[in-house]
Amino acid sequence: MADVGLSVAFWPIAALTVVAALAVVSLKNLLHAALALVLSFVGVAAVYVTLRADFVAAVQILIYAGAIAVLILFGILLTGNAIVGNPPNRLRLPAVALSVSLAGLLVWVVSVRTVWPVDAQGGDERLTPVSLIADALFNRFVLPFEVASVMLLAAMLGAIVLTRQD
């Protein structure tokens, strides 16, 4: 079921994603942190490709690496003090302890202890066809789809109202 090419691709992509995420949370320069965030988003898109979820990978590039990254860069530049704007606060040591212990616990529970009911067809070579996603989105999940459009409109209006100067 698991093929060697996938495994060879997985480790560099996973390492790139995690290292870029660590750079986001540790770099002092906020602009560098934002660029590392884009790298991490692209790494996550590559993870989706190795999972044969090509449509989700394309959406990840469009929304995260495109739109959200630009929004965050605007946010950094508009709030100033980008060069040294990312110091740790007083909670740093408790945060390290909590994150490391939670990471150990989560990895032990989800990756080592739990035996997942893996589907016989799961993890094989087929791509998820986009028609399958479209069918699910416009039949079974059509109500959440419509609610999401209303939510996006509300978020847009909210952002305009919050930042209006008068």
Partner 1 sequence: MVDFFLAVGLPHYLGLGAVLFCVGLYGALSRRNAVAVLMSVEIMLNAVNITFVALSTYVAPAAAAGQIFALFVMTVAAAEVAVGLAIILSVYRQHATVDVERLDSMRG
Residues 107-166 that bind partner 1 (CB under 8 A): 107, 110-112, 116-119, 121-123, 126, 128, 132-133, 136-137, 140-141, 144, 148, 151-152, 154-156, 158-160, 162-163, 165
What is the closest distance, in whole angstroms, from the C-beta atom of residue 65 to partner 1 in the complex?
11
Q: How far apart are CA 62 and CA 26, in angstroms?
A: 26
What is the closest distance, in whole angstroms, from the C-beta atom of residue 124 to partner 1 in the complex?
8
Residue given tokens 């109500």 in the structure block: 143
Amino acid of residue 130 = V
What is the closest distance, in whole angstroms, from the C-beta atom of residue 8 to partner 1 in the complex?
8
Give the CA count within 13 Å in the CB-facing half-sphere of 139: 6
Please check whether residue 35 is in contact with residue 12, taking contact to mean a CB–CB distance below 8 angstroms: no
Q: Give the total of residues touching partner 1 (CB under 8 A).
A: 91
Question: What would the 3-class secondary structure string for 32-47 be?
Answer: HHHHHHHHHHHHHHHH
Task: Output the CA torsion 151→154→158→160 (10° steps).
Answer: 120
Residues 76-105 that bind partner 1 (CB under 8 A): 76, 78-80, 85-92, 94-96, 98-100, 102-103
Q: How far apart are CA 116 and CA 29, in angstroms?
A: 41
Please check whether residue 48 is in contact with residue 75, taking contact to mean a CB–CB distance below 8 angstroms: no
What is the closest distance, in whole angstroms, from the C-beta atom of residue 135 to partner 1 in the complex?
9
Q: How far apart are CA 131 and CA 135, in angstroms?
A: 6
Residues 4-33 that bind partner 1 (CB under 8 A): 4, 6-7, 10-11, 14, 17-18, 21-22, 24-25, 30, 33
- Residue 37 interacting with partner 1 (CB under 8 A): yes
What is the closest distance, in whole angstroms, from the C-beta atom of residue 73 to partner 1 in the complex?
10
Residues 52-71 that bind partner 1 (CB under 8 A): 52-53, 55-56, 59-60, 63-64, 67-68, 71
